[in-house]
Amino acid sequence: DTAVSQTPKYLVTQMGNDKSIKCEQNLGHDTMYWYKQDSKKFLKIMFSYNNKELIINETVPNRFSPKSPDKAHLNLHINSLELGDSAVYFCASRDRGNTEAFFGQGTRLTVV
Amino acid sequence: DQQVKQNSPSLSVQEGRISILNCDYTNSMFDYFLWYKKYPAEGPTFLISISSIKDKNEDGRFTVFLNKSAKHLSLHIVPSQPGDSAVYFCAATDSSYKLIFGSGTRLLVRP
């Protein structure tokens, strides 16, 4: 009965590869997010989708492409992975009218 | 340019005492503030929040205070318990609902 679930939890891949991280929420929320926690531990927003529509895009390289097939899913596809993409990526969701977001357990991406 | 700052990277307190975690912000458009708790290898968990129209919000052992003139908020945990040991993130948002996080404070509650 996990509220926000991400797969995989760990991902190790070589530079130049393309990879995807999947996120699903069963809370019935209509807004979903991707956040990145870098090596300095800052949590920074990358994207936000509301009912499958992109509403926030925080100057993220276009190698990162979010895709929302429906309002319960927000996947993150990354092309041509670079060493600097190594981080923990968190998916989150929020209910309309509420401010607090609920986070998944994170995906630790390591690019070697 | 950090809009939300947590200047203490770590804090250690004795079990049963009060823990006070601080947070400062620079953007006067922020109108809602949240605290999240994070254990290793888990996602942040929402703890408590406060609207800018209030100066205090209490939930059990957790109280958040907001001083708008100083652009400062604090989280008080009393009494502190070993299970409270975690990283605490302060976050702020405006009408965009985009959460801006601080860098976190690692709290250690010693038995």
Q: B36, B99 in Cβ contact below 8 A? A: no
Tell whether the model's pLDDT for residue B91 goes beyond 90: yes
* Helix, strand, or coil (residue A7): strand
Q: How confident is the model at residue B87 (pLDDT cuts 50, 70, 90)?
A: very high
pLDDT of residue B66: 98
Select from B99, B100, B101, B106 the residue whose CB has the most chain A CBs within 10 Å, as the one to mutate to test that interface.
B99
CA dihedral A90, A3, A5, A40 (to 10 degrees): 20
pLDDT tens digits, residue range B9-63? Answer: 999 999 999 999 999 999 999 999 999 999 998 999 999 999 999 999 999 999 9
Mean pLDDT, range B76-86, rounded to an integer:
97
pLDDT tens digits, residue range A24-78? Answer: 999 999 999 999 998 878 899 999 988 888 888 887 899 999 999 998 999 999 9
Distance in angstroms (rounded) separating the CA atoms of residues B48 and B35 = 5
Q: How many CA atoms lie within 13 A of A18 on its CB side?
A: 6
Mean pLDDT, range A70-93, rounded to an integer:
95
Tell whether the model's pLDDT for residue B6 goes beyond 70: yes
Q: Contact A106/B43, CB-based, under 8 Å?
A: yes
Structure tokens at A36: 């990145």
Distance in angstroms (rounded) separating the CA atoms of residues A84 and A96 = 34
pLDDT of residue A1: 63
Strands B100-101 and A73-78: unpaired
Contacts of A90 in chain B (CB under 8 A): 43-44
pLDDT of residue B59: 97
pLDDT of residue B1: 72
Q: B36, B45 in Cβ contact below 8 A? A: yes
Better pLDDT: A97 or A47: A47
Distance in angstroms (rounded) separating the CA atoms of residues B26 and B22 = 14
Q: Where are the beta strands (DSSP E) in A1-112?
A: 4-7, 10-13, 19-25, 31-37, 43-50, 53-57, 64-70, 73-78, 87-94, 102-103, 107-111
* Helix, strand, or coil (residue A70): strand
**Averaged confidence pLDDT in chain A:** 92
Q: Contact A44/B104, CB-based, under 8 Å?
A: no
pLDDT of residue B35: 98
Contacts of A41 in chain B (CB under 8 A): 87, 103-104
Mean pLDDT, range B78-102, rounded to an integer:
94
Mean pLDDT, range B60-76, rounded to an integer:
97
Q: Contact B98/A56, CB-based, under 8 Å?
A: yes
């908020």: which residue's tokens?
B73
- Window 7-66 of A: residues touching B by CB (8 A cutoff) are 31, 33, 35, 40-45, 48, 56
Structure tokens at A53: 């529509």
CB pairs < 8 Å spanning A and B: 48
Q: Residue A31 pairs with which residues in a beta bridge?
A: A50, A94
Closest residue on chain B to A97 (Cα): B97
Tell whether the model's pLDDT for residue A10 goes beyond 80: yes
